[in-house]
Amino acid sequence: MRIVATADTHFGFEYGRIAVTKKESIERMNLAFENVLNEAVSKKADLVLHGGDMFNRSSPKKAVIKKAYDIIQKFAENDIPLVAIPGNHDKSVLPESLISHFNTNIYFMNKLKLLGLSEVAILSFPFEGNSPRTIFEKVAKIAKENPAQKIVVLCHQLFDGACFGPHNHIFTKRIDTLETEKLPENVLLVISGHIHRSQELQNGRVYYTGSIERTSFMEITEPKGYLLIDIEDDFHKVQFCETKNKHWEVLEIDIKNTAMLSSVIEDENIEIDSRTLIRFVNRDLSNSEIKFLWARYPAKEYPLLRFSPRNPNTVLRKLYEK
């Protein structure tokens, strides 16, 4: 069985300071997802998995929902099943739609369920924020009750050892981090959304797909893509496939010993068509300096530019090294 796994499409995500750039951001998310689905067709996948955070908000606009579901419905015409779960941004429930009721190739899984598909079953559940370990115990119980069934778990959770951010923060030994040591051997893999960096954890038992596009400057150094999973009788292979993404840029300016902010930024070359964040580090900005920045970089001329901090009395430390 060949599976394409993706997650964190965040349909409706807006970036930019004017309507045109916000619209372009939404369209890029749609296009990125379409490209992954086209890859699933060209690579002759038997199944597509979506690991949650389909939408960027729990109550997305009707136009955003329609576009996302139109893409999924069109893909279903290829006779390739698609299984999707809701994530934390979806508030653990995907918006109601008739396409999952009338199309036998589309499965929106809003509750814990074992779905038998060919020789491999998908055991999936929505994001659980209150008691993730309790529901994971139920996952292990269901798997043990079906010992002859090969199982892939699909979820949107935080697993012990997950790595995030430019400082490579590792989530470990928290009450909401999960471990797979109690899962039976017939659980081949756990595929998860939630962490936007694609990674392998817990001796190859857990894989994060990562997001298909960047939604934060915290992800600037991370490649984006999807997982291609091949499952044979006695082995399985998981491969990360990178996709092309829009360029993001971070400029960090040390202003610790700078009295005149204007003298520091005049020499910076800002690419107008690049998503750029200017971070002023090692001292706070005054109200007058913040007003100067708003005036220096008007939204109409610099619609893709952001700066931080945007409030006084906030000191940032350096994140990125060139």
CB 297 within 8 A of CB 305: yes
The tokens describing 47, both together, are 């199944």
Please give the model's pTM, rounded to 2 decimal places.
Answer: 0.94
Q: Where are the domains of the chain?
A: 2-242, 248-308
- How confident is the model at residue 321, as a pLDDT? 64
- How confident is the model at residue 118, as a pLDDT? 78
- How confident is the model at residue 98, as a pLDDT? 66
- How confident is the model at residue 182, as a pLDDT? 94
- How confident is the model at residue 143, as a pLDDT? 97
CATH architecture of 2-242: 4-Layer Sandwich (3.60)
- How confident is the model at residue 267, as a pLDDT? 60
Tokens 């779905």 appear where?
Answer: 115
Q: Which residues of the chain have pLDDT under 50?
A: none
* Residues paired with residue 225 on neighbouring β-strands, in sequence order: 242
Query: What contacts 54, CB < 8 A, 6 or more positions away?
Result: 9, 10, 11, 68, 84, 86, 87, 90, 94
Cα atoms in the Cβ-side hemisphere of radius 13 Å centred on 295: 8
How far is the C-alpha of 30 from the C-alpha of 64, rounded, in Å?
9
- How confident is the model at residue 100, as a pLDDT? 66
> Which one-letter DSSP state was computed for residue 11?
B
- How confident is the model at residue 247, as a pLDDT? 84
- How confident is the model at residue 261, as a pLDDT? 87
Cα 242 to the chain's mean position, in Å? 14
- How confident is the model at residue 264, as a pLDDT? 83
Q: How many CB atoms lie within 10 A of CB 115?
A: 15
- How confident is the model at residue 192, as a pLDDT? 98
